[in-house]
Amino acid sequence: MKPIAQPRGPIEVKEFSINPKPIPVTPVEMQPTFTLTFSLGTPMRDIHDTVIRTVLQYTRGNRLRAAQMLQINPRTIRRRLGKKESASTARAA
């Protein structure tokens, strides 16, 4: 493989242009935040289930959106909360 020759001396730039493209940005201020308080010694299962229920309420029962927000598989929500509970949460919204 032949090495690339390094320029010697200053390089003159005759033209320069910027191609502006929109940058997809979600402002942090618009992302929902939740404050949940748990007693010391609360089992992790109860904490996980409470977080899932809270996000499901926020998404009005939309399991796919809740799963995206929590970065988990939608099946995890159904499995963790049970088919009846996740369906009733969706209907209650």
The C-alpha atoms of residue 74 and residue 63 are separated, in whole angstroms, by 6
| pLDDT, average across residues 76-92 | 70
Segment 22-31 mean pLDDT: 59
Cβ atoms 56, 89 nearer than 8 A: yes
Q: Is the pTM of this model over 0.75?
A: no
- Residues 6+ away with beta carbon under 8 Å from 55: 34, 66, 69, 70
Tell me, what's the pLDDT at 92?
A: 57
Given this model, what pLDDT does residue 87 score?
Answer: 52
User: What is the H or E stretch that residue 80 is in?
Assistant: helix 74-81
DSSP E strand boundaries for 37-90: none
**Section 67-88 average pLDDT:** 82
pLDDT at 50: 94
Burial 4-30 (b: 16+ CB within 10 A, else e): eeeeeeeeeeeeeeeeeeeeeeeeeee
List the single range of 21-25, 30-34, 62-66 with lowest mean pLDDT: 21-25
